[in-house]
């Protein structure tokens, strides 16, 4: 297996966590006789500072020429006063649009070992395993027109979808549900928004192609509550861009830390992989960041871009094992150094790597 991976580590903790994930992927490649070629380019705040733009042309060209793009994080407080089109986030949004992936897969699952980290009671989250399919290229994020008319003191964005945009992401969600527990929850605001009525009607049409999957609809406000009250009732959750952004962060509560969660964006020319946590500038460069989200994102590269399911599963199993053994990064330990062995970013990376290696060698 040969894979050309472009790493855009970006800002804040992006570089340190992607480093750990890359080390895991290199070991997996060496053990299995695979060739993973890594190339590195700038994106986000670091690119604004060094290249004058959040998405330099050579980053974009390299991304389009790769088999997979692995992004760390973008953003930093020093850019907060810039307009949306100049900010680090614009680099990420431009990259998403150029790569064309419209289905952003965001798993949210409970780790038994991290149950104490969640403000939800253990009996509520135990066994929860949700896969969000967030539409990534439409809705308010990309809809035109958009503008802040300062003279008028008025601003507008547009939540806009075509039937085809909804149908293609719905198809992916139904297919994934078919490989899981055969349940799909589509989230909208069809009691108020026309765009949601189109969304719901289209999802119902697509459902006819997937008779084995049970479809239900939820309004986004109610869904925000159901996710906290009864997260186990959901399997695949399909939703538009902004709703998915919000609900996926909310669901970090189920896991107990956003630092654990990976994502994969599929359906376009080149798949894009990014952990869900942000750039966390307050802890960047201190060896405190949790590399698990990035490492588990590496597992998704193996699953969705390399077809190496056993290796992907080994990384996921290793992450669990390391938690079982009582190893925690500071964010996960939450000051409890008595019961846990608290590790730095690189120590945690090494621990997962050693565990993956043992699993693969003994497999």
Residues of the shown chain interacting with ligand IPM in the complex, contacts defined by CB under 6 A: 74-75, 89, 92-93, 245
Of 11, 41, 141, 331, the active-site residue reads 141
In the complex, the smallest distance separating the C-beta of residue 249 from Mn ion, rounded to whole angstroms, is 5
The tokens for 17 are 């966590």
221 assigned to active site = yes
Segment contacting Mn ion by CB under 5 A, of 50-58, 212-220, 239-247, 323-331 = 239-247
Rounded distance, CA 330 to CA 343, Å?
7
Residues 73, 79, 81, 86, CA torsion sign: negative
Query: In whole angstroms, how close is the CB of 265 to ligand IPM at the nearest point?
Result: 9
Candidates 120-128, 243-251, 291-299, 331-339: pick the segment binding Mn ion (CB under 5 A): 243-251
Q: Which of the choices ligand IPM, Mn ion, none does residue 349 contact, using the CB cut-off of 5 to 8 A by kind?
A: none
Q: Are 26 and 302 in contact (CB under 8 A)?
A: no
Contact partner at residue 240 from Mn ion, ligand IPM, none, CB < 5 to 8 Å by partner kind: none
* Nearest CB to ligand IPM, comparing residues 74 and 289: 74
Catalytic residue among 11, 161, 189, 235: 189
SS3 for the chain is CEEEEEEEEECCCHHHHHHHHHHHHHHHHHHHCCEEEEEECCCCHHHHHHHCCCCCHHHHHHHHCCCEEEEEECCCHHHCCCCHHHCHHHHHHHHHHHHCCCEEEEEEECCHHHHHHCCCCHHHHCCCEEEEEEECCCHHHCCCCCEEECCCCEEECCCCCCHHHHHHHHHHHHHHHHHCCCEEEEEECCCCCHHHHHHHHHHHHHHCCCCCCEEEEEEHHHHHHHHHHCHHHCCEEEECHHHHHHHHHHCHHHHCCHHHCCCEEECCCCEEECCCCCCCHHHCCCCCCCCHHHHHHHHHHHHHCCCCHHHHHHHHHHHHHHHHCCEEEHHHHCCCCCCCEEECHHHHHHHHHHHHHHHHHCC
27 is catalytic: no
- Of 235, 245, 273, 304, catalytic: 245
CB of 238 to Mn ion, least distance (A): 17
Binds Mn ion (CB under 5 A): choice among 245, 274, 311, 331: 245
Stretch that binds Mn ion, among 66-74, 143-151, 176-184, 240-248 (CB under 5 A): 240-248
- What residue 311 binds from ligand IPM, Mn ion, none (CB within 5 to 8 A, per partner kind)? none
Task: Assess whether 11 carries a catalytic annotation.
Answer: no
37 is a catalytic site residue: no
Write out the binding residues for Mn ion, residues 286-315 only, by CB under 5 A: none
Residue 273 annotated to the active site: no
| Minimum distance from residue 28 beta carbon to ligand IPM (Å) | 25
Choice between 74 and 173, CB closer to ligand IPM: 74
The residue at minimum Cβ distance from ligand IPM is 89
CB of 75 to ligand IPM, least distance (A): 6
Closer to ligand IPM by Cβ: residue 213 or 300: 300
- In the set 86, 183, 249, 321, the catalytic residue is 249
Name the residues annotated as catalytic: 141, 189, 221, 245, 249
Report the interface residues with Mn ion, using CB under 5 A: 245
């Amino acid at each position: 297996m040969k894979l050309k991976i472009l790493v855009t580590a970006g800002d804040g903790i992006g570089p340190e966590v992607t480093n750990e994930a890359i080390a895991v992927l290199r070991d997996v490649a060496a053990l299995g006789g695979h060739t993973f070629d890594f190339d590195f380019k700038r994106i986000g705040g670091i690119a604004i500072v060094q290249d004058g733009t959040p998405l330099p042309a050579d980053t974009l060209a390299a991304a389009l020429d790769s088999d997979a793009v692995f992004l760390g994080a973008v953003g930093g407080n020093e850019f907060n006063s810039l307009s949306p089109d100049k900010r680090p986030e614009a680099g990420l949004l431009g990259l998403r649009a150029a790569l064309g992936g419209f289905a952003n897969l965001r798993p949210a699952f409970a780790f038994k070992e991290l149950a104490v980290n969640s403000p939800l009671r253990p009996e509520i989250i135990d066994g929860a395993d949700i896969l969000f399919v967030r539409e990534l290229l439409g809705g308010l994020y990309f809809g035109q027109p958009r503008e802040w008319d300062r003279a008028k003191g008025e601003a507008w964005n547009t939540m806009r979808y075509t039937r085809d945009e909804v149908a293609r992401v719905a198809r992916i969600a139904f297919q994934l549900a078919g490989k899981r527990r055969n349940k799909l929850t589509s989230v909208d605001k069809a009691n108020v928004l026309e765009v949601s009525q189109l969304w719901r009607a289209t999802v119902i049409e697509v459902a006819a192609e997937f008779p084995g999957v049970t479809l239900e609809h939820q309004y986004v406000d109610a869904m925000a509550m159901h996710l906290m009250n009864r997260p186990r009732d959901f399997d695949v959750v399909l939703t538009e861009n902004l709703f998915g952004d919000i609900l996926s962060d909310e669901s970090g509560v189920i896991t107990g830390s956003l630092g654990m969660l990976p994502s994969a964006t599929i359906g376009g020319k080149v798949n894009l992989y990014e952990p869900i946590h942000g750039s966390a500038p307050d802890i960047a460069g201190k060896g405190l960041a949790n590399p698990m989200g990035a490492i588990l994102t590496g597992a998704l590269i193996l699953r969705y871009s390399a077809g190496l399911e056993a290796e992907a599963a080994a990384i996921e199993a290793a992450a669990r094992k390391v938690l079982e053994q009582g190893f925690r990064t500071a964010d996960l330990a939450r000051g409890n150094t008595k019961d846990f062995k608290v590790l730095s970013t690189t120590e945690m990376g090494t621990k997962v790597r050693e565990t993956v290696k043992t699993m693969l060698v003994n497999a």
